[in-house]
Homo-oligomer: A and B are copies of this chain.
Amino acid sequence: MISKTDGTAALLQRVSAEGQKLPLEERRNFLKHGLLLAGGVITGGALSANARAAAGNLPPNVPAWTRSLGPGVLTEPYGKPSRFEKHIVRRNVPWLTADRIASISFTPLAELDGIITPSSLVFERYHAGIPDIDPEQHRLMIHGLVDRPIILTVDDLRRFPGTSMIRFLECPANGGMEWRGAQMDALQFTHGMLSCCEWSGVLLSTLLQEVGIRKDAAWILAEGADGSHMSRSVPLAKAMDDALIVYAQNGEPLRPEQGYPIRLINPGWEGNTCVKWLRRLEVGDQPWYHREETSKYTDLLADGRARKFSYEQECNSVVTYPCPEKPLTEKGRYEVRGLAWSGKGKIKRVDVSFDGGVNWRPARLKGLVLPKALTRFGLEWDWDGGPAMIQSRAVDETGYVQPTYTQLREARGTNSIYHKNAIHTWRLHENGKVTNVQIR
């Protein structure tokens, strides 16, 4: 599961004992030195400043916190991040929605590592704000074409055999601003309606076995307890496959903004179908064609028809480093990093281009590769200081290849808001800064 790095994984930047950057010429030596290492040749001499500091086993520095006592246990019975990381928060795009009640905030993807999104940073999407639900008062009703309708408390739900799964959750409008060319210069806004958590709960199939589905059952309506009564129609096949009624997220109870006390998770499907604050599951023989699957969450095609019930989040990827929030600082070797995901299963392969899609190099998949989960990739790259057009292109286990903008628009036109999964381009400038451009 763990990709070990090879000997060429050399660090390109070193600092003196005082933490000052060395002159460019010396840093170039480090680069050369690092490359020589790959061939097994060890050179000395270039590290004199560090070597001097280390010669007498001197510690690297002795700041105040190394000479004092800090606060003890339970200073924060429920912990929080370092005060030096206060910039890592969800953000919104003020002009995107008329108010904050029915709006969106974005996950700061540029600041995250691994595949788990901390619950505090999972993007928000509300249609009527966050209901303040007392779990003792909350109920889930399952009715319709069932033999034994039922009303459950949260404690009832927890009595059923449970399971857990790490799965991504993405709003189908993720990247929606890119369809019309409103290129935001921030990874947080181009791809930040995306997260990945460990979800724990009861498989919906378990509950449906409990109530007994009638022969003509084919669809399920899921309805939320918030003021919008948000509801979506879900085919029975998905409900019997891997749909999960969730009460916990990353180990602890579901967060209020994620549907506390219970929500539906349809792994790999539009976040909108994963109804939060779930209060009602109705079994029927056809879809309900409610608001959020007719006037919204459908894709207006070029010929005027609407693509509906487009549930699966197609294979997608994005480079997270470098990106607008994380520019490069100097020439040299870097690990270019990114995220890939597919609603159809596991990621099989990711390629990276530095010239806008002319040439591609295979990236390394890192850590766990799970179905319908975020997957990390990385690729070592020597930046020569010149401009570049950095792209990633993911392929999932079904063989589906992430499309170009041209391919996506040929299939869908330009009216869409949802399901933008075209290959994304970061333009790296000579000063190391990164901006967002579209290459067809």
- Interface 9-residue window, one of A46-54, A303-311, A417-425: A46-54
The verdict on A282 contacting chain B, using a C-beta distance below 8 Å, is yes
Tell me if B137 and A250 are in contact (CB < 8 A): no
Tell me if A121 and B78 are in contact (CB < 8 A): yes
- C-alpha spacing A1/B66, complex, angstroms: 45
The verdict on A24 contacting chain B, using a C-beta distance below 8 Å, is no
Closest to A131 in B: B65
26 contacts between A and B (CB under 8 A): A2-B242, A11-B210, A14-B151, A15-B153, A37-B209, A37-B212, A47-B149, A51-B149, A61-B137, A65-B131, A66-B226, A66-B227, A72-B130, A73-B104, A74-B91, A74-B92, A78-B90, A78-B120, A80-B255, A88-B253, A113-B164, A114-B200, A118-B118, A160-B335, A162-B335, A164-B376
The verdict on A349 contacting chain B, using a C-beta distance below 8 Å, is no
Which residues does chain B contribute within 8 Å of A260, judged by CB atoms?
82
Tell me if A100 and B114 are in contact (CB < 8 A): no
List residues of A (60-114) whose CB comes within 8 Å of B's CBs.
60-61, 63, 65-85, 88-92, 99-105, 111-114
- C-alpha spacing A65/B261, complex, angstroms: 13
A376 to chain B, nearest CB (A): 6
Closest to A141 in B: B60
Beyond A65-B132, A91-B77, A252-B88, is A198–B15 a contact (Cβ under 8 Å)?
A: no
- C-alpha spacing A42/B368, complex, angstroms: 43
The verdict on A191 contacting chain B, using a C-beta distance below 8 Å, is no
Tell me if A380 and B73 are in contact (CB < 8 A): no
A91 to chain B, nearest CB (A): 7
Tell me if A92 and B73 are in contact (CB < 8 A): yes
Across the interface, A65 reaches (CB within 8 A) one of B12, B71, B226, B251, namely B226
Which residues does chain B contribute within 8 Å of A10, judged by CB atoms?
210
Tell me if A50 and B9 are in contact (CB < 8 A): no
The verdict on A426 contacting chain B, using a C-beta distance below 8 Å, is no
Tell me if B141 and A206 are in contact (CB < 8 A): no
Tell me if B161 and A72 are in contact (CB < 8 A): no
- C-alpha spacing A160/B34, complex, angstroms: 12
The verdict on A147 contacting chain B, using a C-beta distance below 8 Å, is yes
Beyond A14-B150, A151-B53, A225-B66, is A73–B143 a contact (Cβ under 8 Å)?
A: no
Tell me if A113 and B9 are in contact (CB < 8 A): no
Beyond A156-B11, A252-B111, is A42–B147 a contact (Cβ under 8 Å)?
A: yes
Which residues does chain B contribute within 8 Å of A99, judged by CB atoms?
72
Chain A residue total in the interface (Cβ 8 A): 154
Beyond A114-B200, A147-B44, is A75–B130 a contact (Cβ under 8 Å)?
A: yes
Beyond A163-B2, A227-B68, is A253–B143 a contact (Cβ under 8 Å)?
A: no
Tell me if A366 and B163 are in contact (CB < 8 A): yes
7 closest Cβ contacts across the A-B interface?
A72-B100, A70-B129, A54-B149, A65-B131, A60-B139, A113-B200, A54-B143
Tell me if A1 and B143 are in contact (CB < 8 A): no
- C-alpha spacing A151/B153, complex, angstroms: 56
List residues of A (113-144) whose CB comes within 8 Å of B's CBs.
113-122, 124-126, 128-135, 137-141, 143-144
A38 to chain B, nearest CB (A): 10
Tell me if B252 and A121 are in contact (CB < 8 A): yes
Which residues does chain B contribute within 8 Å of A151, judged by CB atoms?
14-17, 19, 50, 53-54, 60
